[in-house]
Amino acid sequence: MHVSSPNEETQWLHDSYEPPSGFSSLSTPVHHASTVVFDTVDAYQNRGARRYDGYTYGLSGTPTSMVLAHRVAQLEASHHQAVLTPSGLSAISLVYLSCLRQGDHVLVSDNVYGPSRHLCLNVLQGMGVEISFYDALAGSGIESQIRSNTRLIWVESPGSITMEIADVSAIAAIGRKRGILVAADNTWAAGLHFKPLRHGCDISVQALTKYVGGHSDLLLGAIAVSNEILYRKIKDTAHSLGLGVSSQDCFLALRGLSTLSVRMRQHQASALEISRWLQQRSEIKKVIHPALASCPGHEIWRRDFSGSSGLFSIVLQPQYSKRSVDTMIERLRYFRIGASWGGAISLALPLDPSDLRTAAPWNEDGYLIRLSIGLENVADLIADLRAGLDSLLSVQAVGDRQMAYKEG
């Protein structure tokens, strides 16, 4: 039977040309796909069997995302692929939604990431999940707060604002003893300086947005797990929720991973130098950096962590007003104002932890500023902070005179 040649617009869509073999590159190819095609009807109809380690649809993964999932699992010391999500918060949400049902109880560290707390109180609680917050420094004492329906313990060490270091090993041991899953937010250590799975946790979550991405230009999250059953459970929930990741963002995260250890060494060195310099300033009441002896849980950090990152907080002396603190931050030249951290550009952000505490109230009377130390020259950053701190008194004095004038 004669088959006519296709029209031009059909021909260029179905052209069978394959580029010559032999090309090799140092970068991972970017595979974009929504539709994944199959050679046979049978292969398509049985595609569900490939959900955990193959390709079924763009949401299930591409070769690009599979490489990233494998490398994150290696970073987190997991023997199973990581589950990738569109953001760090979506990774946190996915863990909660995979592990909890109506009537279950979850214990959440009181120093937890603000949006995680919001999720618990405004979403999970509305779904019938019971929420309790515990002191981040509770350690094995957390056992007294476990209920018969406790199904998950959430740990954040260090807390991303107040920096407390939890005894993750002790909490994980309680979890194993009582048959309760333990999940840790490991973003501060970037999977490089701390391995929650090696310390007994079942789940380790990272916002790859932060240090793995490293340049403030992508949104990704990752979940590493301790066993295959848990991996499949979380992967199934991600599939049901329609969570997928961009191959281009995965490419950027893979590129970030290749320089992660080098960048983290610089973040660590600069942050330590700056934090020790800040300890000598009279305007500073407290420097909260896990590598400093004054940080709550520092001894646990020394025992469990192999290094530190570029994120820490300072508390100013209580005499400074909000206006003077805000003005100081706005005048900084190299520190920008913005959420997130872990990028090449330094950030400074005033935060009030008191609204985010229930189990362990925040009682400091001075303003807290969180600093994310980037990759700028450390001398330039110190000079910038020096100028900002020097301006505090003058701004405060102007504010005091204006207030006296109004009252007069």
Cα angle 210-212-215, degrees, rounded to a multiple of 5: 65
The yes-or-no verdict on residue 408 having pLDDT over 60 is: no
When pLDDT is averaged across residues 142-160 and rounded to a whole number, the result is 97
The yes-or-no verdict on residue 404 having pLDDT over 50 is: no
pLDDT digits (tens, 9 = 90+) for 254-300: 999 999 999 999 999 999 999 999 999 999 999 999 999 999 999 99
pLDDT at position 52 is: 87
Structure-token match 């179905």, residue found: 14
Q: How many CB atoms lie within 10 A of CB 200?
A: 18
Q: In what order do the strands lie in the sheet containing 368-372?
A: 284-288, 311-316, 368-372, 347-351
73 φ/ψ angles, rounded to the nearest 5 degrees: -60, -40
The yes-or-no verdict on residue 187 having pLDDT over 90 is: yes
Residue 315 and residue 288 in contact, taking contact as beta carbons nearer than 8 Å:
yes
Q: How many CB atoms lie within 10 A of CB 48?
A: 10
Residue among 139, 141, 131 nearest 155 (CA): 139
Q: How many CB atoms lie within 10 A of CB 44?
A: 12
Residue 221 and residue 340 in contact, taking contact as beta carbons nearer than 8 Å:
no
What percentage of the chain carries pLDDT values higher than 90?
Answer: 84
pLDDT digits (tens, 9 = 90+) for 10-47: 888 888 888 898 988 899 999 999 999 999 999 999 99
Q: What is the CA radius of gyration of the chain?
A: 25
Residue 153 and residue 171 in contact, taking contact as beta carbons nearer than 8 Å:
yes
In the chain, ranges of CATH 3.90.1150.10 domains? 257-405
> Taken in order 91, 188, 264, 216, is the CA torsion positive or negative?
positive
The yes-or-no verdict on residue 400 having pLDDT over 60 is: no
In the chain, ranges of CATH 3.40.640.10 domains? 63-254
Instruction: Write down the mean pLDDT value for the chain.
Output: 94
Rounded distance between C-alpha atoms, residue 340 and residue 354, angstroms:
20
Long-range pairs of 69-74 with CB within 8 A, sequence gap ≥ 24: 69/222, 71/254, 71/257, 72/191, 72/206, 72/208, 72/212, 72/222, 72/224, 72/257, 73/224
The yes-or-no verdict on residue 346 having pLDDT over 50 is: yes
What pTM was estimated for this model as a whole?
A: 0.93
Q: How far is CA 2 from CA 6, 92, 117, 160, 350, in A?
A: 12, 59, 68, 70, 75
The yes-or-no verdict on residue 49 having pLDDT over 60 is: yes
- Amino acid at position 243, single letter: L
* Residue 177 burial by Cβ neighbours in a 10 Å radius (0-12, 13-18, 19+): exposed
Q: How far is CA 59 from CA 63, 86, 242, 248, in A?
A: 12, 11, 7, 14
For strand 347-351 and strand 284-288, is the pairing parallel, antiparallel, or unpaired?
A: unpaired
Decide which of 3.30.750.200, 3.90.1150.10, 3.40.50.1580, 3.40.50.800 is the CATH code for 257-405. 3.90.1150.10
pLDDT at position 401 is: 47
pLDDT at position 2 is: 63
Q: Give per-residue burial for 91-130: e unless 16+ CB within 10 Å, then b.
A: bbbbbbbbbbeeebbbbbbbbbbeebbebbeeebeeeebb
Task: For the domain made up of 63-254, give the CATH fold.
Answer: Aspartate Aminotransferase; domain 2 (3.40.640)
